[in-house]
């Protein structure tokens, strides 16, 4: 029995393909199939696939007659798969050797429709970092916190088939997020595995390039609109997660204003932001969450002022607009009692995760709030600090 079918869409990725395939044929889970769909590549990608196919009978190569896009290629792979679960790997990425074994074991352990692993991201300059925020949020706060790193997961085939979940072929960029949100809405639960990694590679010329042409931005807009439409009819989502996700996808739409300099493109983004806002269920809560975009931006959105929002886009400095806009800003409060106006006697320091009380420089009380615990220290005098990686 095939436990996991791994779908790999391929298009002109000759320099990266061997690394991807080597990571898949080396999986510690033996009961897999690797379905590679060549989307009419014009380089040597198909030749590399055929070479690997002759060496490993778990590899199946499907060569499409014409270039049809990554959504069609992935759907062809889903329809051809026979595994109990499905995984997806982009052909310029790769995974740890134990990635699918650990995910499959986690899914079976928790009887979960989905299981996801951890993520390492290599940026455009070649620097690699662990991006584990999302998986930790899923562990502590539930499945609706899984809204981006969809390639880190495996999906139960029966769930996809019974709910007719596929990648929308009319969306060239962002269709994977539409697929993920539909899976989240229909899944019973998500198992997590922090100790194995998907390696996500950002590179120029990929679908996730820094500066996007108007057609890709239009596609992203269509994806975010489809996602918010789904949130408006999904019976499984609570108000808190609805508001959080809705704000997130409005902000994602907004942030694309920094990925193209065309005024027409910025106007399309402004229209999309306003239209998505108009459809939402909880407008006062959504508007409050959008304050991070700036007061003028929120006013333009609420008054449906497209021109005003475009002007707001143009006023943003590129380096500011390109940065991730936080959904909330952590608050830190400090209270001090001084003697003679300069010597601290009592200090109360409250941050997002810690409350600390000092008297004459000595810690009397320390409360540390973690994801799973609260630690309390009384009359604690720090002598040495040990920092673990």
How much is the mean pLDDT over the chain?
87
* 60, 18: one domain: yes
Do both 153 and 241 map to the same domain?
A: no
389 falls within a domain: no
- With 0.85 as the threshold, say if the pTM is over it: no
pLDDT single digits (tens) 208-251: 566 789 999 999 999 999 999 999 999 999 999 999 999 999 99
CB neighbour list of residue 184: distance below 8 Å, 6 or more residues apart: 114, 143, 144, 146, 147, 190
Task: Give a yes or no: residue 241 inside a domain.
Answer: yes
**179 and 246 assigned to the same domain:** no
3-state secondary structure of 348: strand
Structural domain harbouring 289: 214-321
Position 36 scores a pLDDT of: 98
Q: What is the pLDDT of residue 360?
A: 63
Q: Decide if 34 is inside a domain.
A: yes
289 and 243 in a common domain: yes
The last residue of one of the domains, among 170, 201, 232, is: 201
Distance CA 162, CA 184 (A): 14
Question: Is the pLDDT at 146 greater than 80, yes or no?
Answer: yes
In a domain, residue 75? The reply is yes
What does each C-alpha distance from 67 to 10, 41, 70, 175, 200 come to in angstroms? 10, 8, 9, 17, 24
What are the pLDDT digits (tens) for 287-325? Answer: 999 998 988 999 999 999 999 999 999 887 553 333 333
Give the residue from 271, 299, 321 where a domain finishes. Answer: 321
| pLDDT beyond 70 at 174 | yes
Q: Please report whether residue 386 resides in a domain.
A: no
- Which residue would you say has higher pLDDT here, 337 or 56? 56
Instruction: Please count the structural domains in the chain.
Output: 3
| Pair 68, 180 in one domain | yes
Say if residue 29 is in the same domain as residue 165.
Answer: yes
pLDDT bracket for residue 203 (50, 70, 90): confident
Are 307 and 374 contained in the same domain? no
Mean pLDDT of 36-51: 98
**Is residue 45 in some structural domain?**
yes
Predicted confidence (pLDDT) per residue in 357-377, tens digit: 666 656 666 665 544 444 454
Helix-strand-coil split of the chain, %, nearest 5? 45, 25, 35
Question: Could you tell me if 133 and 111 lie in one domain?
Answer: yes
Whether residue 257 sits in one domain with residue 168: no
Same domain, 263 and 290: yes
| Residues 305 and 278 both lie in one domain | yes
Domain termination residue (choose one: 299, 321, 343) = 321
Tokens of 382: 């720090």
Q: What average pLDDT does this structure show over 90-112?
A: 98
Alpha-carbon distance of 68 to 78, in angstroms, equals 15
In a domain, 159, yes or no: yes
pLDDT for the residue numbered 295: 85
Same domain for 285 and 233, yes or no, is yes
In a domain, 385, yes or no: no
Higher pLDDT, 258 or 164: 164
């Amino acid at each position: 029995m095939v436990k996991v079918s791994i779908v790999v869409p391929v298009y002109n990725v000759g320099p990266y393909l061997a690394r991807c395939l080597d990571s898949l044929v080396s999986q510690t889970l033996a009961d897999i199939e690797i379905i590679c769909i060549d989307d009419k590549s014009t380089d040597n990608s198909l030749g590399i696939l055929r070479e690997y196919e002759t060496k490993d009978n778990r590899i199946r190569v499907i060569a499409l007659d014409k270039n049809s896009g990554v959504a069609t290629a992935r759907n062809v792979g889903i329809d051809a798969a026979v595994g109990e679960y499905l995984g997806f790997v982009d052909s310029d990425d790769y995974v740890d050797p134990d990635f699918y074994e650990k995910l499959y074991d986690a899914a079976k352990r928790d009887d979960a429709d989905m299981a996801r692993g951890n993520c390492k991201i290599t940026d455009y300059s070649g620097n690699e970092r662990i991006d584990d925020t999302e998986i930790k949020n899923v562990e502590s706060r539930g499945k609706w916190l899984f809204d981006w790193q969809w390639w880190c997961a495996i999906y139960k085939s029966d769930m996809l088939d019974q709910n007719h979940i596929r990648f929308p072929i009319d969306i060239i960029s962002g269709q994977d997020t539409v697929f993920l949100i539909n899976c989240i809405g229909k899944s019973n639960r998500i198992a997590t595995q922090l100790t194995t990694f998907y390696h996500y590679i950002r590179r120029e010329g990929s679908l996730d390039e820094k500066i996007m042409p108007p057609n890709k931005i239009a596609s992203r807009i269509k994806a975010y609109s489809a996602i918010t439409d789904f949130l408006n009819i999904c019976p499984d989502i609570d108000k808190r997660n609805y508001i959080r996700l809705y704000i997130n996808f409005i902000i994602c739409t907004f942030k694309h204003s920094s990925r193209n300099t065309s005024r027409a493109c910025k106007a399309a983004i402004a229209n999309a932001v306003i239209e998505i806002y108009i459809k939402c269920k909880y407008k006062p809560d959504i508007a409050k969450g959008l304050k991070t975009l700036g007061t003028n931006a929120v006013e333009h959105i609420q008054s449906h002022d497209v021109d005003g929002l475009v002007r707001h886009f143009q006023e943003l400095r590129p380096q500011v607009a390109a940065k991730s806009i936080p959904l909330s800003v952590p608050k830190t409060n400090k209270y001090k009692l001084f003697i003679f106006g300069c010597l601290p006697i009592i200090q109360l320091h409250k941050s997002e995760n810690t409350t600390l009380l000092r008297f004459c420089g000595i810690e009397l009380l320390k409360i540390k709030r973690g994801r799973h615990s609260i630690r309390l220290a009384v009359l604690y005098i720090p002598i040495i600090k040990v920092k673990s990686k």
